[in-house]
């Protein structure tokens, strides 16, 4: 059974919907941050395997929006927990990563408190 996915009232394939999502994500980031965003990190569901993460990186090359790493949500929760943030008082957190000489950061807006309570 195939379930059609629609984008702008047009049926798209499984790869195309991710392409449109990445394009929209880039446009939204550009408009909110008043600049052009070329690189990003992305969180994916824990059940994504390496092939699905690589597919996201490959599609990002088409959009000129470089996804340089993918983290599953469980890893993000563990990293945030290591920073010992008070998850009850933060709706938005900032995770800074040091990769080679460049300092890169991603802003996350998610309800980590609920996931943290479920994990513990």
d(CA 63, CA 31): 17
CATH of the domain at 71: 3.30.420.40
For 16-49, how does the pLDDT look when each residue is reduced to its tens digit (9 = 90+)?
Answer: 777 777 778 778 878 887 777 777 777 777 777 8
Per-residue three-class SS string for 71-114: EEHHHHHHHHHHCCCCCCCCCEEEEEEEECCEEEEEEEECCHHH
For 37-46, how does the pLDDT look when each residue is reduced to its tens digit (9 = 90+)?
Answer: 777 777 777 7
Lookup: tokens for 116: 């943290």
How many domains does one find in the chain? 1
**To which residue do tokens 């569901």 refer?**
45
For 53-107, how does the pLDDT look when each residue is reduced to its tens digit (9 = 90+)?
Answer: 788 778 777 777 777 777 776 666 666 665 555 544 444 444 444 444 444 444 4
pTM attached to this predicted model: 0.47
60 is in which domain, residue-wise?
5-119
Q: How many CB atoms lie within 10 A of CB 109?
A: 8
């Amino acid at each position: 059974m195939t379930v059609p996915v629609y984008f702008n009232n047009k049926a798209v394939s499984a790869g195309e919907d991710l392409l449109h999502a990445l394009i929209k994500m880039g446009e939204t980031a550009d408009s909110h941050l008043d600049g052009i965003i070329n690189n990003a990190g992305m969180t994916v569901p824990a059940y994504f395997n390496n092939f699905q993460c690589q597919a996201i990186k490959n599609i990002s090359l088409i959009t000129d929006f470089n996804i340089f790493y993918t983290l599953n949500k469980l890893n993000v929760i563990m990293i945030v927990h290591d920073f010992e943030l008070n998850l009850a008082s933060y709706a938005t957190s900032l995770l800074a990563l040091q990769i080679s000489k460049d300092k890169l950061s991603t802003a996350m807006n998610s309800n980590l408190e609920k996931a943290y309570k479920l994990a513990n």
